[in-house]
Amino acid sequence: MSGLIGIGILLFPKPAMVAVCAFGLVFAGAVDVIRLRWGFRGPMKRISSWFKEKERATISGSTALLASYLFLVAIFPAPVAAFAILFFSVGDPLASFFGKYFPLWRFREKSVGGAMAFILVGAILSLSLPGLTPCIKICASLFGALAEFFAGDMDDNLTVPVAVGVALVALGKLLAW
């Protein structure tokens, strides 16, 4: 579902997509404030199953994700934001799947199989999205996989999309010389 923001940034004006991300962030943030302040009582009890156990005492992954998407959409050119958002929205679930069923080797809670799935998604997307060269996009995908692999206590919903966006811009500038 979050991939729609990545597609939307290519189709709609930037201010409209900034507004969509900002609205989503405010809504998710408000749910987090209510949930963290008063817990899952009353109507909030119905949504308790939406949250992971590790999110019980902190902001949700949705809030972190929308914060990273808002940052990407507001700061970076549309092709960079679109690639970083689509890379994460497609790559994260596939990395989780491959990490669970084809882990190859585990490090902390991450796996080489998941990292390889992330890089494969980046390679496929690099051929289908406009913007920088496929080589730059694949290298940025590697940075995203490394950010996922070494995120530690940081929420990967925040770190990976931003790492990919920053890598795309940095590599684009570096290789343009």
3-state secondary structure labels for all residues of the chain? CCHHHHHHHHHCCHHHHHHHHHHHHHHHHHHHHHHHHHCCCHHHHHHHHHCCHHHCCCCCHHHHHHHHHHHHHHHCCHHHHHHHHHHHHHHHHHHHHHHHHCCCCEECCEEHHHHHHHHHHHHHHHHHCCCCCHHHHHHHHHHHHHHHHCCCCCCHHHHHHHHHHHHHHHHHHHHHC
* Model confidence pLDDT, tens digit, residues 22-59: 999 999 999 888 877 776 666 666 665 566 666 666 77
Residue 108's pLDDT is 72
**Crossing angle for the helix pair 14-38 and 3-11, nearest 10 degrees?**
150
φ, ψ at 106 (rounded to 5°) = -110, 145
* Model confidence pLDDT, tens digit, residues 56-98: 667 788 899 999 999 999 999 999 999 999 999 999 899 889 8
* Model confidence pLDDT, tens digit, residues 112-137: 888 888 888 888 888 888 778 888 88
φ, ψ at 115 (rounded to 5°) = -65, -40
φ, ψ at 91 (rounded to 5°) = -70, -35
Least confident interval from 15-19, 33-37, 161-165:
33-37
